[in-house]
Every structure is written in C-alpha cells, then in structure tokens.
Amino acid sequence: MVELLTNELFEKVKAGLPADAEIAEIRFEGSEIVIYTKSRDFFGGDNTAIRELVGQLKKRIHLRPHVSILSPTEEAEKAIAAVVPEEAGIKELVFQPEFGIVNIEAEKPGLVIGKGGETLREIRATAFWAPVVKRAPVIPSDVIKTLRELIYKEASFRKDWLDKVGRRIHSGWKATEWVTLTALGAFREVGRSCVLIRTPESRILMDCGVKPGTNEYPMLNLPEAEITKLDAVILSHAHMDHAGMIPFLYEMGCEAPLYCTTPTRDLMVMMTLDFLDIAQREGRPAPYTSKGIKEAVKHCITLDMEQVTDIAPDIRLTLLNDGHILGGALIHLHIGEGFHNLLYTGDLKFDRTALFDPASTNFSRAETIITESTYGLHEDIQPRRFEAEGDLIDIVAKTVKRGGKVLLPSFAVERSQDIQVILANAGIDVPVYLDGMVWDVSAITTAYPEFLGRDLQRAVLQQNKNPFTSPVFKRIGSQEERKKVFESDEPCVIIATSGMLIGGPSVWWLRHLAEDKRNTLVFVGYQAEGTLGRKVAKGWKEVPIEEGGRTKGLPINMEVTTVEGLSGHSDYKQLLNFISKSRTRPELIIVNHGDPVKCVEFARAVHRIFKVEAIAPKLLETIRLR
C-alpha cells in the first residue's frame, strides 16, 4: 500500500515535468520531495515547472543535480567565488555529493542569497551544485562546528533514513476517529515535561525532560509509550526539564524524527553534554551516554518558525515563537483533515523582552490548549519589564560607585543573554565577565539572529549593532582567570552559572565575594526550595559551604537583592492574556508545568474567566481530546 501511494505521487511529479528534464531519481526527504536531474540545463535554468508542481501538489519540492552532473569541487569553489561578493565573508564550503548540496557558511548570508535569490540561481547555473546557505556565528562556536560536521558526515545514513520517514508520512490513513493525551511528566509538577499524543494511526511524543536535582524521569514504561513505535518526537525548547531525556530515547532505539528548530538542536546538545559531564564529575550514573546525543542529532529534522510540515500520515506540525528562549517554540498540531487542533505551549513568555517578541498567537484554531502554569496563582504578578531592567542597572551602578563587584548567578540559556543585552543597551562601562556556559550559549545566539525579537534583529542585521560583541563582555575560561579578576581592585559584573547556586562557577564566586560589603549578589531568577540560592535569598547571614570535603559556615556580608520581572515565563496576567488572544475559543484547556496548587488553581481561574472546560490532570492520566 505504501509503495503504491508513493509510486502514484512520484508519477504525478514526473507528469508535471518537461520531457527534457532527464529525471534520474525522485526521493523523499522527510515530508518533502526531492527530484534529481541529469540535465544541467534543466537544473540551472528556469524552474517554472517546479513552482507549478508545488502549487498543484501542495508539497515542498526541491530540484537537485544528480551526482553525474556535479562539477568537480575545485571548479565549483571557483564558480562560487566568482559570483559571491567578497564582503559576504564565506568561512567554509562543505560539499555533500549524496544530496548534490554545497553548504556555504558565511558571515553575511544575505549577500550569498542575493536580491530575490539572484545569486543563488547564478551559483546553481555555474557551479552545478544546490547551494544551502548557513550563517557563521560571529563568536566562534565549537558546538555549532561539531554539529555541522556530524550532519555532513552522516549524509549517507540521513539520505536513506529521510526517504524512509517520507514513505511513512505519505502512507495514507483511513480515518481519524479519536485523539488522546497521556500525561508522562510535568503534570502537577515542574520538571520532566513529557506528553504523548495518540490517534488510531500515530504516536507523537512532545518533550522529554529531566527533573533537575532528582532521579525522576518521564513515565516511559507504559505500553502506549513504547519508544520504538513512536512516529515523531517534538522538542519545544532546550531547557533540561524539557530536553534532558531526549538522548535516552535514541540510545534506547528510537528511530522517529526529532523535530525542533536549529538553535534548539544546538542548545540541546550543549546542555545534555554538560549534564553528562556533571554526572561524571559527581560520580552519579547518567541515564544515557554521548551515543544517545549523537543518535538524536542524526535523527533530527530542523524547522523554521511557522513552517508547516507533515510529521505523520494524519498530523501536521507548525512551530511558533514562544518568547521564552532562543529557538523555543509553541507546538501546534493539526490532526486529521480538520478533525482536531492542539496547541502545546511548553514554556511561554507573552511579553516583549530584551531578546524576544511575545509568544505568537498566529494559529487559526486550537480546540485544545496545553498551557504551563509556573506562575499560575492570582498573586503571581511580576513588575513591569522596564522597571525590572531599571532596577538592575541601578544596582550595578551603585555597586560600581562603591568599588564593588556584582555577582549575577544566572541560567546559561536565555537569562544570561537577556542580561547581556540589558547591560549593553545601558552603556555599562565596566568589564562584564561571563563564566561557565554563558559564553558558549551567546556564541550560538550570534548564529541565529533571525530567532531574536524584531528590534534586536534590526540592530544586528541592519544597523551592525550586535550587543553580544560589545567589548565590555569578556570570557573567563580558567581558574587562573577567575583568581585574576577576584584579586583585581577593578569594579566589574560577573554573570556565572548556575542560577540557583547549586554548582558551577557561581558558587566559587560566592565563596570569594561574600564577605566584602562592597560587593552585591543579584538574583535574577527563581530560587527553588532547598537550594543554596534560596537560603541566601531568604536573608541567611551565614550559609553552609563545602570546602576540601568539609562543610563550613560562610558569612554573607555582601549586599543581597533580587530583581523580579526578568523571568522567561509568563506571569498570571500574561498567561490569561495569551489564552484570550486565541482567534477561536478553545474547547478544553489542560494545565501543566506548575506546582500542584498552581496547576489546580489556574485551571479553576481559566474555567471561571473563559467559561470553558479546564483541567489539571495528574501523572499517568489519559484524556480523550475528541
């Protein structure tokens, strides 16, 4: 049946092409169709026939050169150099003959593309390779370099695997009679987010995270959640409570595509590698190895925001900006032929920040919304954003004036970059040191300015004002560099991980700065109960610190303050505003990702305000959505 449907589709493609197209092969690449031609004239010429096919079949179709007509790489390099202006800053060319693709990594991709794609067309017509343009990070990133090399290396595997995925997607289905949701993690709790969606035809897993500080993982031992029978895994964003167990799926034999944005993929790899490194240093067993991370990357299909793609015979996926972290996305599923529409928020911020625009409401229908409730109580109202940013700048200025150092324990992803932009825009003129993974995350951020808010995009791409390359930001990469900064009398700001003082360089800085009254500790994120950060934030004047295998008391003489309002999560009002902005009123709202009381109370508030059914399921509950 699958082969028959595939052949019928490919015959329609062939019928829509001119006789002299010299088609050598037609294959799937996931949901997309790729045509390989042996005609240089057809490949480099007018693509009107391809555009007409796209309109007729409503499929994304790519034309590629067959290996028999590829020009030698040396000739292709010369042709590309002759066409692309030098100021584009080409850093690397990587040829993938398996796909007929040349990957062009450049500092200014727009100059490689050209006005209306003119330069790309010229590359095709003269180099006889299909160009794929990628942005080179302004700050070199080992993570991006390693990932791109891995993808290139696995070209042969991915070509066959993507064709297999496409055949499954285009295999057809009889009817969509029901849709269910099973709560596998982050229901009436924060951490280990994991949601299973099932239809008679498909099984889709959304997120698969860890519960930081515990050995609690998603409930994947249910028969309906069998890893090897999943049709797709979708990752909303790269925070560990959503992404931390993704490699486990692939180490255990999952062959389903992993759908996410490109920055989410890159950040997920960095975060999970760090997770393994910490486990090894602390002598704790980890649920997977680096093999699982590599397998996840091999099976990853990255998508742009608002790109619509089929991921199963009866399910279509769209990712939308969540306003939360770089590459983070709301997940919209269109199930059946209009049978049901579901929106899963993951984490969302429905307010403009220094980094991002508010979470998108650009979805036409969502009969079911699964929403987070991190700040789900009526009293969970954050200060206005401009007030929070002003408070942070004032604290820094006062500390600098008295000759002190400012310690900002921060989450590596999103919060640290948010603070960088705030400080850069304020014109801070003292050194700002980045310790831990902060520098690496910022490097990744520079490779994907199109995922930033419109104002920041404009500053980076049009005005050549990139806050992340400001000379005030300096990397700390060793213990010797830390000591040098500490021993200096120069006032400065230090952004260091972890944000809750539960490990990482922030604890070293606390130990060395805490006794000096000139210094200030500024909390800019949530401090969980039981963490060292929570104790300090509560006002403890002495806290226990491990040193040389012993625990001793550390006097806290430095000023300690908290800046509210910089959270990457929506507060109570913002959550309600997001729901109210939906174009059509949902029929069911499911509340997760919050403390038990917050999940239940927010569900009650939603029911009372919007007069729709709202529930806060418990772990392992299965709900029929339709």
Domain boundaries, the chain: 2-67, 172-379+570-624, 385-562
What pLDDT does 175 receive?
A: 84
Condensed to tens digits (0 to 9), the pLDDT of residues 172-229 reads 887 899 999 999 999 999 989 999 999 999 999 999 999 877 789 999 999 999 999 9
What is the average pLDDT score of the chain?
94
Condensed to tens digits (0 to 9), the pLDDT of residues 10-51 reads 999 999 999 899 999 999 999 999 999 999 999 998 888 899
Omega prior to 498 cis, within 30 of 0? yes
> The CATH number of 172-379+570-624 is which of 3.40.50.720, 3.30.1360.40, 3.40.190.10, 3.60.15.10?
3.60.15.10
The whole-number average pLDDT for the span 319-344 is 97
> Distance between CA 603 and CA 605 in Å, rounded?
5
What pLDDT does 547 receive?
A: 75
pLDDT interval class at 5 (50, 70, 90): confident
Q: Which CATH fold would you assign to the domain 385-562? A: Rossmann fold (3.40.50)
Condensed to tens digits (0 to 9), the pLDDT of residues 497-534 reads 988 888 789 999 999 999 999 999 999 987 877 788 88
**Strand order in 23-29's β-sheet?**
23-29, 32-37, 61-65
The whole-number average pLDDT for the span 268-279 is 92
pLDDT above 60 for 1? no
Q: Look up the pTM and report it.
A: 0.95
What pLDDT does 510 receive?
A: 95
Condensed to tens digits (0 to 9), the pLDDT of residues 111-122 reads 999 999 999 999
Place of tokens 């230090």: 494
The whole-number average pLDDT for the span 557-580 is 95
Residue 306, classed as helix, strand or coil, is coil
What pLDDT does 4 receive?
A: 62
What pLDDT does 180 receive?
A: 98
Place of tokens 């399921």: 617
Condensed to tens digits (0 to 9), the pLDDT of residues 224-262 reads 999 999 999 999 999 999 999 999 999 999 999 999 999
284, two tokens: 């704790």
Neighbours of 232 (CB within 10 A): 24
What pLDDT does 526 receive?
A: 77
CATH of domain 2-67: 3.30.300.230
> Distance between CA 261 and CA 330 in Å, rounded?
11
pLDDT above 70 for 88? yes
Asked if 313 and 171 count as a contact pair (C-beta separation under 8 A), the reply is yes
Condensed to tens digits (0 to 9), the pLDDT of residues 416-458 reads 999 999 999 999 999 999 999 999 999 999 999 999 999 999 9
The whole-number average pLDDT for the span 487-491 is 95
What pLDDT does 282 receive?
A: 81
